[in-house]
Amino acid sequence: MEDSTPLKQKIEHQELGETGRPWEEMVTTSQDPEPRLSEASESEQGPVTGPQPRSSPPGIPQSGASTPVDDLVGPGVSSPPSPSQEPSSTPSPLALAVQDLMAPWQSDKTTSVISEAGTPHLDHLEQSSDKAESTPHQTCQSEGNTFHQSQQTKCHLYGPRDVSYNNSKRKELRFDIFQEEDSNSDYDLAQPESGASEVAPSMLEIAIQNAKAYLLKSSSKSGLNLYDHLSEMLTKVLDKRPENAVDIIENVSQDVKMEHFSKKLDTLQNENEMLPTYEIAEEQKALFLQGNLEGADQEMEDEIAEHSLPNVMESAFYFEQAGVGLGTDETYRIFLALKQLTDTHPIQKCRFWGKILGLEMNYIVAEVEFHEGEDEEEVEEEDVPEERDNGDSEADEDELPRSFYKAPQAIPKEESRTGANKYVYFVCNEPGRPWVKLPAVTPAQIVIARKIKKFFTGRLDTPIISYPPFPGNESNYLRAQIARISAGTHVSPLGFYHFGEEEEEEEETEGRRDSFEENPDFEGIQVIDLVESLSNWVHHVQHILPQGRCNWFNPIRKSEEEEEAEEEEEEEEEEREEPDYIELEVGPPLLTPISEDLEIQNTPPWTARLSSNLIPQYAIAVLRSNLWTGAYAFSNGK
Amino acid sequence: MDEESLLLSLELASGSGQGLSPDRRASLLTSLMLVKRDYRFDRVLFWGRILSLVADYYIAQGLSEDQLSPRKTLYSLNCMEWSLLPPATEEMEMQTSVVKGRFMGDPSHEYEHTELQKVQIKEETRLVSIIDQIDKAVAVIPRGALFKTPFGPIRVNRTFEGLSSSEAKKLSSYFHFREPVELKNKTLLEKADLDPSLDFMDSLEHDIPKGSWSIQMERGNTLVVLRSLLWPGLTFYHAPRTKNYGYIYVGTGEKNIDLPFML
């Protein structure tokens, strides 16, 4: 096992490339004996690629040893620096280096490494045999011999290492110095032989550089390079100091490689999961903050002047008494969303209509009445497609063989603000999301909606696949259902509304409700009465005829007379000229008590009860529709 | 839903629009405690509310130690006085299959059905049978909430920390809260992946018709709500990564036979 750091250090030193610094390389290799590319001759660089535990004193290479000694002699490095500069000095540094190397090696080393290192080292050692210091040299040599002989055992290493302990002090000193990468000072401290041979270092240096470059080459497959990998591996081993490190070295290598890849996955997963939650929270935060944008004064005036926003919380409180509700925070958010709606659109009157559950998402519906003049734009837009359709159909008739079948004339939809299109409906999926306006409903849609029964998915553009085929997508179906529900279940206590004038003409669009208005003289009906008798409740939305409209339209009229149709509608009841098969459709007039509602399969259409049996004096009357489950009306008697 | 966490559960389940009025809630809290004591139940669940024409039935169920053993069902009209219902039998189910329409609201009311002979079916019977059918069909529990001990009894898993956000969106993480029916039919390959202590009930994934469950995340991923389309009115809620879960039925007690056409 070699530490990569020493290797790095060694190589760094090599990069410094100063001839007089062969020792630096040795030193940098670190405390532990590491393979080092010594400035050995280039020829030996090849075999030295692997981490080699022995740092042979650079002196050896300097001395002309051909083999670059990759042996790292950490401690030994310190000693050799000065001597390394000269070939003559190499022996001593070498010896020292070897000794130093020995010392750290005792802690953790793999014999294999040693053996590898041993080989070049040996060479170097042998080469340095002509070094000055015989003793150290011999030690080295012996060490080298030992290595050479054993190459598989550590014990030989240990021998020389012990010797090196003698020099430990000096080595340590040198270590510190060398750590700073200031090789110059090291050299000074080191043995006096500072004169580095210039020839050898340069070759050594180049050799080392080549070796390092090779180690740094990235793998084409994994993007790692050997240099870094070895460094990490050795760092890991040194940190953990496992037993028998040499046996598990392959596993360690594998673990280090695996660590490279796992980190990225973690961050990705975390990011994905959090996003949807925060998105909604952000949007709803916008809801809460929007009120703060405008100036305080202006806000107050606007809000007081407009009565358009309903008091949703108050109604929610009463509904809660009845056991119907969406939860307080949800209701409050809906309240804020309605406020946002009224702020962005010129709305005269607004009401929270309800919530429709869907498969994927739900709809929150708001019933809205615009100021006059707001709807004209829409009318124009929608007339255009209708005209186009007429044109197309005529063209077809000319070209193809004429069929005698005349499709029943499409019943035109009611004008805005009248009949089934009296209110405009906005929907959103969740409070905070933008409000979408639903298109006006056509009679054909209502007729078909009566025949099919489909779930809502929550997306407005979903096509409705059914038989009979529904003309339109989910937004149309939703609108049709809303119209039917409103017509069927919007009730109010008797007398709350009354007719303004008896025969109000419908062309007048002066902002009055169709034919009723609030009765200022309404005194309230006792809650008990409301519960007991259903005749105290009346519908305040026009009933939708089987034709699909609230006001009867006679389709027999020829197309030229279409424009006059509305004006003549009132007269239709008097005219009896219609062809036989079209019958006049009459629905119950407005403000009919609900006691007149038909039963469905023996089920009375409404259930009325008090909200609480325990405290009747403050209870409210709750009316629940059995036809449309989920439709509730309440009254508190005022 | 557990009566211990009743208030929180009602709040979480309120997305469906049907809840309880304050006075009912208050009376439930007190009366369920008494029920638990009197009948010596291990856990009491507030099952739900069946809407009927005159008065609503409030249903509660009591569980003993073994979570999958047959539950005792109680009903009340005013959330205060609870009466025990007899256990359901197959005969009852056959009888009630002919009765259509809403509940009357009077437990002693008798439906008359004339087929070959005049048969009178008591509303109480019908109530029992409907509750049982709903339980068998759509009572839901998340995976990991219960575990099976080697000796047999099923226990509440106290270490259940909730499903993760990704698991909560999958139907396979929810089980039917009843004895497994389809488990034996699984292939060996599938069984190999199951954990016998946790996966001992049928999952919702294979329910027929497909798509009879609507799974939605409300409140921006902090609450997952499952709604049954087969028995409209059954809502199951669970807050991922917390221990809160439960189901409640608020509806008319009628099966949605048109489901295949509506999808």
Minimal CA separation from B76 to chain A, in Å? 14
- Range in A18-22, A398-402, A497-501, B56-60 with the lowest mean pLDDT: A18-22
A vs B, Cβ pairs < 8 A, gives: 92
Per-residue pLDDT reduced to its tens digit, A428-442 = 887 777 888 888 888
Q: Confirm if A30 and A5 have CB atoms less than 8 A apart.
A: yes
Q: Which residues of B touch A (CB under 8 A)?
A: 11, 14-24, 49, 51, 53-55, 78, 100-102, 165-166, 211, 214, 216-217, 219-222, 227, 229, 251-252, 258, 261-263
Cβ contacts of residue A535 below 8 Å, gap of 6+? A494, A593, A594, A595
Nearest-Cα distance to chain B for A626, in Å, is 8
- Grouping H, G, I as helix, E, B as strand and the rest as coil, residue A196 is coil
Which residue in the block uniquely carries the two structure tokens 């099923």?
Answer: B154
Pairing of strands B245-251, B43-50: parallel
pLDDT tens digits for A267-313? 555 555 556 666 667 777 777 776 544 434 444 555 555 556 777 78
| Cβ atoms of residues B164 and B240 within 8 Å | yes
pLDDT value at residue A361: 84
Please indicate whether, in this complex, the C-beta atoms of A455 and B217 are within 8 angstroms of each other: no
Burial A483-514 (b: 16+ CB within 10 A, else e): bbbbbbbebbbbebbbeeeeeeebeeeeeebb
* Domain boundaries along the sequence of chain A: 307-374+410-487, 491-503+513-554+586-637
Nearest CA in chain B to A620: B21
**A611 with B53: Cβ contact below 8 A:** no
Nearest CA in chain A to B20: A323
Q: What is the pTM of this model?
A: 0.59
Give the gap in angstroms from C-alpha A154 to the nearest C-alpha of chain B.
Answer: 50
Which of A282, A328, A359 is most worth mutating to test chain B (most B CB atoms within 10 A of its CB)?
A359
pLDDT of residue A218 exceeding 60, the answer is yes
pLDDT for A468: 81
A323 with B19: Cβ contact below 8 A: yes
Cβ count near A571 (within 10 Å): 8
Contact (CB<8Å) B19/A273: no
- Interchain contact, A323 vs B11, CB within 8 Å: no
Give the mean pLDDT of A401-420.
Answer: 61
Interchain CB distance below 8 Å, A325 and B216? no
CA distance A435 to A433: 6
- In percent, how much of chain A has pLDDT > 90? 0
Cα B202 to chain centroid distance, Å, stands at 15
Please state, rounded to an integer, the average pLDDT across all residues of chain A: 61
CA dihedral sign, ordered A382, A383, A384, A388:
positive
Segment 265-324 of chain A within 8 Å of chain B by CB: 273, 276-281, 284, 320-324
List the single residue in B24, B217, B262 with the smallest CB-CB distance to A453.
B262
- A360–B262 C-beta distance less than 8 A: no
Test B220 with A601 for CB contact under 8 angstroms: no
- Which conformational region is residue A342 in: left (phi greater than 0), alpha (psi within -120 to 50 degrees), or beta? alpha
Per-residue pLDDT, A273? 53
For A:435-454, CB contacts with B below 8 A are: 453-454
CA A499, A501, A506, A507 torsion-angle sign = negative
Query: Each residue of A190-205: pLDDT tens digit?
Result: 444 444 455 566 889 9
> Choosing among B53, B236, B258, which should be mutated to test the A contact, i.e. which has the most A CBs within 10 A?
B53
pLDDT at position B36:
86
| pLDDT one-digit tens code per residue, B35-75 | 888 888 888 888 888 888 878 888 888 888 777 778 888 88
Tell me if A273 and B229 make a contact (CB, 8 A cut-off): no
Share of chain A above pLDDT 70, in %: 38
From first CA to last CA, the distance across chain A in angstroms is: 91
Q: Do B216 and A322 touch (CB under 8 A)?
A: no
Query: A319, A328 in Cβ contact below 8 A?
Result: no
The CA distance from B169 to the nearest CA of chain A, in Å, is: 12
Give yes or no for residue A21 having a pLDDT over 70: no
Q: For residue range A72-109, list pLDDT tens digits in order.
A: 433 444 444 444 444 444 444 444 444 444 444 444 44
* Candidates A277, A455, A629; nearest CB to B229: A455
Instruction: Yes or no: say if A367 and A423 are a contact pair by the CB < 8 Å rule.
Output: yes
Give the one of B17, B19, B166 whose C-beta lies nearest to A355's C-beta: B17
Contacts of A323 in chain B (CB under 8 A): 18-21, 24, 49
A601/B101 Cβ within 8 A: yes
pLDDT-derived band at A263 (thresholds 50, 70, 90) equals low
Q: Is the complex ipTM more than 0.90?
A: no
Mean pLDDT of A560-584: 41
Least trusted range by pLDDT, from A47-51, A235-239, A413-417, B233-237:
A47-51
User: To probe the interface with B, which of A614, A617, A624, A636 has the most B CB atoms within 10 Å?
Assistant: A614
**Residue A132: what pLDDT?**
40
Binary contact (A604, B53; C-beta < 8 A): yes
For A101, the 3-state DSSP assignment is helix
The distance of A609 to chain B (nearest Cα, Å) reads 8
* Beta-carbon separation of A323 and B24 below 8 A: yes
pLDDT at A37: 41
Question: A298 Cβ partners below 8 Å, 6+ apart?
Answer: none
Q: Which residues of A touch B219 (CB under 8 A)?
A: 280
The whole-number average pLDDT for the span A516-538 is 68
Q: What is the pLDDT of residue A226?
A: 83
